[in-house]
Structure 1
Amino acid sequence: MNVGDFIIMDSAYKQICKTFPHTQKVHFPTHERITRVGIKRQRQISLNFLCGTNCLNSSMLFHRQWNIGMLNTLFMKDTVTLGVGWANYQNNPDIYTSLLLRNILSKKHIHSVRDSYTEKLLRSTGVQNILNTGCPTMWDLNNDHCTQIPSRKSKNVIFTLTDYRKDSIKDSIFIRALKKSYEDIYFWIQGANDYAYLQSLGNLIQDIKIIPANLSDFDAALSNTHSVDYAGTRLHAGIRAMQKFKRSIILSVDNRAEEKKKDFNLPVISRDLSLEEYIHIFNGNMTTNISLPLDNIQNWKNQFS
C-alpha cells in the first residue's frame, strides 16, 4: 500500500547481494504472520535479515508493523537487522517487546539501525550489539555521488504528500510555493490514499500532472523529466531522488526525517514555513552533503566476511 517500501527493499536487497553475492535470497513479508510454508523455509535458511524503517516500536504485542509474536521465535532462525527504525517518538519499550527482541535478534551478529534514536531505544531492551549505519537507501550517497547533485533550482519539480499526515492548511501553502517557484509541477502517488488527499485540496491542484503509484513510473519521471527537483513529505521518495542525482528537499512530518537530519545531514526542512520562506528555500542554492557513518557501515558488512 506504500510504494516507499519498494524503495527501501530495492536498496536493502542491493546491499545484501553485494555482501552475499553467491547465495540465494528468500523473501518473507514483514506485514504478514509467518505461515506453514514460511516455517518450512525457516528450516532451510541460514539467517534472517530484517529490512525496513518502522519495523520496531515500544509495544509490539499491540502494534505489529513487523508481524511476529513470541511463538514465532521458536520457529525462526536468528534475525539480523539492516537499517531498521523505531516508529514515532515513544516511551521506552515494554517488557513484552524487550523479551521478544532479545529472543529473536541474533546475539552473535551486529545489528544495523537507521538512527541514534532507534539505537537508544533498542539498547534499552537489552540488545547491545548495535551500530548506527543509517538506512541502506543512503549507503551509496557518498561524497562523489552528492557532488553530482545540482545545487541550483531546476525548472520543474516532483512533489509528494502523505495520506496519514494530513494538514490541508500547511500543504496548501507548500503547493502554492511550488507553483510560484517552478514551471511544471508533478505529483507522485506513493501511498494508497495520497491521490484522494490531493484531490481534497480543490482548485489548488489545477495544472498538476500525476505520476502513477509505481516505483518504475517515479524512476522514469526522475530520469526523463528535463531539469527536475524533488520536494515533499515522503522521506524515501526524497532519498530515491538523490539516488537519481536530483536535488531533494524533504519536509519533516515524523521522527524518521528529523533523526536522519540530525545524524546524517539529510536535506530536511520544517513543514511549518510561510509561503515566502518556502519560496526562498526553493529558489536558493542548496548543497547536498550527506554525512555517512562509513566505518559503521563497513564494520556491519565485515562481520559476514
Structure 2
Amino acid sequence: MNVGDFIIMDSAIKRLESTFPLSQKIHFPTHERITRVGFKRQKEISLNFLCGTNCLNSSMLIHRQWNIGLINSLLMKKVITLGVGWGNYQQHPDTYTSLLLRRMLSANHLHSVRDSYTESQLKKAGVKNVINTSCPTMWDLTEQHCAQIPTSKAENVVFTLTDYRQDYDKDLTLIQALKESYQDVYFWVQGSQDYEYFKTFGRHLDGIKVIPANLSDFDKILLSSLSLDYIGTRLHAGIRALQKMRRSIIISVDNRAEEKRKDFNLTVIPRNLTVSEYVDIFNQHVELQLTIPFSAINEWKAQFD
C-alpha cells in the first residue's frame, strides 16, 4: 500500500545479499500473520531478519505493524533487526511489548535500528544489544556519493504528499511555493491514498504532472536528463532521490524525519512555513554533510563474518 516499503526493501535486500551471498533468502510478510506453511519454513531457515521502518511501537498487542504474538516466539527462529524503527514518539514500552520483544529478538546478535530514539526505546524494553546504524537506505550515502549531488536549485521539481498526515492549508502553501519556484512541477504518488488527497487541491493543481505509483516510474524521472530537485513530506522518496544523485529537501511530518535530521544531519525542514519562507529555502544552496555511522554499520555486518 506504500511504495516507500519497496525503497526500504530494495536497500535491505542489497545488504543481506552482500552479507550472505551464498544463502537463499525467503520472504515472510510483516503486515500479515505467518501461516501454517510459513511456520513449516521456519524449521528450515537459520536466521530471521526484520527489515524496515515503523515495525515497532510501545503497545504491540494493540498496534500490530509487525503482526506477531507470543505464539510466534515459540514457533519462529530468533529475529535480528536491520534498520527497524519505532512508529511514533510514545511512552515506555508496555509489559507485553517488552516481553514479546525480549522473546522474539536474538540475545546473541547485535540489532540494527534506524535512529537513536528507537535504540532508546528497545533498551527500555530490555533489549540491550542494539546499535544505531541508520536506515539501510542511507548506507551508500558516502562522502564521495554526496559530493556529486547538486547543491543549487534545479529548474524542475518532483514532490510528494502524505495521505495519513494530511494538513490542507500547510500542503497548499507548499504547492503554491513549488509552483512559484520551479518551471515544471511533478507529483509522485507514493501512498495508496496520496492521489485522492492530491485531487482535493482542485484548481491549484493546474500544470502539475502526475507520476504513477510505481517505484520504476519514480526512478525513471530521477534518472532522466531533467534538471530536477525532490521536495516533499515522504521521507524515503527523499532518500531515494539522494541515492539517484538528486538534491533533496524533506519536510517533516513525523518522528522519522526529525530523528534522521538530529542523528545524521539529513536535510529536513519544518512544515509550518509561509510561501516566501519556502521559496527562500528552495533558492538556498543545500550542502549535504551527512553523519552516517559507518563504524556501527561495519560492526553489525562483521558479526556475520
> Under TM normalisation by the shorter chain, which class is it?
over 0.9
Q: Deviations over 1:254-290 (max 9, x none)?
A: 0000000000001100001111110001111111121
Counterpart of 1:189 in structure 2 is: 189
Who is 1:167 aligned against?
167
Tell me the equivalent position of 1:36: 36
Per the alignment, residue 228 of structure 2 pairs with: 228
TM-score, scaled to structure 1: 0.99
Aligned counterparts of 1:192 and 1:66: Cα–Cα separation in 2: 19
* CA deviations over 1:198-230 (Å, ceiling 9, x no partner): 100121111100000000000001111510000
CA distance in 1, matches of 2:111, 2:265: 22
> In structure 2, what is the Cα distance between the partners aligned to 1:117 and 1:232?
23
Match of residue 104 from structure 2: 104
Paired with 2:99 and 2:72, the residues of 1 have a C-alpha distance of 13
Alignment correspondent of 2:273: 273
Matched, 1:141 2:116: no
Q: Give SS of 1:178's match.
A: helix
Asked if 1:206 corresponds to 2:210, the answer is no
Paired position in structure 1 for 2:15: 15
Q: Structure 2 CA distance, aligned partners of 1:156 and 1:288?
A: 19
Q: Distance in 1 between matches of 2:75 and 2:131?
A: 26
**Counterpart residue number, 1:71:** 71
Number of aligned pairs?
Answer: 305
TM-align CA RMSD: 0.5
Alignment-derived partner of residue 217 in structure 1: 217
Provide the rounded CA distance (Å) in 1 between the counterparts of 2:303 and 2:184: 47
Alignment match, 2:87? 87
Counterpart-to-counterpart distance in 2, 1:266 and 1:48: 30
Q: Where does structure 1 lack aligned partners over 5 or more consecutive residues? A: none
Counterparts of 2:195 and 2:152, CA distance in 1 = 29
Range 286-295 or range 41-50, more displaced: 286-295
Write the letter of the residue equivalent to 1:277.
E
Unaligned residue ranges in structure 2 (runs of 5+) = none
Using structure 2 for the length normalisation, give the TM-score: 0.99
Offset, 1:74: 0.7
Structure 1 residue 23: Cα displacement:
0.6
**Structure 1: how far apart are the matches of 2:288 and 2:175?**
23
Matched residue of 2:171: which SS?
helix
Q: Find the aligned partners of 2:267 and 2:284 in 1 and give their Cα distance.
A: 13
Q: Residue type of the partner of 1:289?
A: Q
Partner Cα distance (1:226, 1:20) in 2: 37
Deviates more, 1:221-230 or 1:36-45: 221-230
Whole-angstrom CA distance in 2 between matches of 1:288 and 1:218: 22
Query: Aligned equivalents of 1:59 and 1:216: distance in 2?
Result: 35
CA-to-aligned-CA distance 1:74-106 (integer Å, 9 cap, x gap): 110010000000001000000000000000000
Structure-2 separation of matches of 1:224 and 1:115? 32
Match of 2:301?
Answer: 301
1:5 maps to amino acid: D
The equivalent of 2:25 in structure 1 is 25
**Aligned partner letter, 1:93:** P
For the residue of structure 1 that corresponds to 2:10, the secondary structure is: helix
Q: Following TM superposition, where does structure 1 have runs of at least 4 consecutive aligned residues deviating by more than 3 angstroms?
A: none
Letter in 1 for 2:239: I
Cα distance in 2, alignment partners of residues 200 and 270 from structure 1: 23
